[in-house]
């Protein structure tokens, strides 16, 4: 299988609701997302690459996936919609809080990007995302893979 991977970086905060240690506190990361795409089934008449020999131009992944991450999550604070301990009420939007439908662990973020965000923003491009790696630090990351 031939893949194309684009790395995208954002800065965002979160807290892991129910965490047994300091990650239960509000904190932030310089996140790095690695998004890996393959040619969708049936695209390019069954060939694995386009007429130029690519899965997809890297700028498509940057503009579509990176653009979404930049607009929606960069310099924002991700909080689980069920986390009422960190409830800022009507002030949440003013503080850049984004309520997400999952506890914002690296694993859940990778899953959400791979299963929800990428299919939406890459619709019509002829590629499918098969892997998303979310780096919270240079040493800690989680990987979602399409099965």
The DSSP element (H or E) to which 97 belongs, if any, is strand 97-100
- Of 4, 53, 20, 29, nearest to 109 by C-alpha is 29
11 catalytic per annotation = no
CA distance 42 to 58: 21
75 in catalytic set: yes
- Among 17, 23, 34, 92, the active-site one is 23
Is 92 noted as a catalytic residue in this protein?
no
Catalytic residue among 14, 112, 135, 136: 136
Q: Catalytic residue among 11, 75, 115, 145, which? A: 75
Bridge partner list, 91: none
Kindly list the catalytic residues. 23, 75, 136
């Amino acid at each position: 299988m031939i893949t194309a991977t684009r790395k995208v970086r954002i800065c965002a905060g979160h807290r892991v609701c129910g965490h047994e240690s300091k990650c239960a506190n509000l904190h932030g990361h310089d996140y790095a997302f690695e998004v890996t795409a393959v040619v969708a089934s049936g695209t390019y008449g069954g060939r694995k690459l386009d007429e130029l020999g690519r899965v997809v131009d890297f700028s498509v992944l940057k503009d579509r996936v990176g653009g979404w991450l930049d607009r929606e999550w960069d310099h924002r604070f991700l909080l689980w919609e069920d986390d009422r301990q960190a409830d800022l009420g009507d002030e949440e939007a003013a503080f850049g809080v984004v309520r997400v439908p999952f506890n914002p662990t690296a694993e859940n973020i990778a899953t959400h990007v791979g299963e929800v965000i990428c299919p939406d923003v890459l619709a019509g491009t002829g590629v499918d995302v098969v892997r998303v790696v979310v780096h919270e630090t240079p040493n800690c990351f989680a990987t979602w893979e399409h099965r």
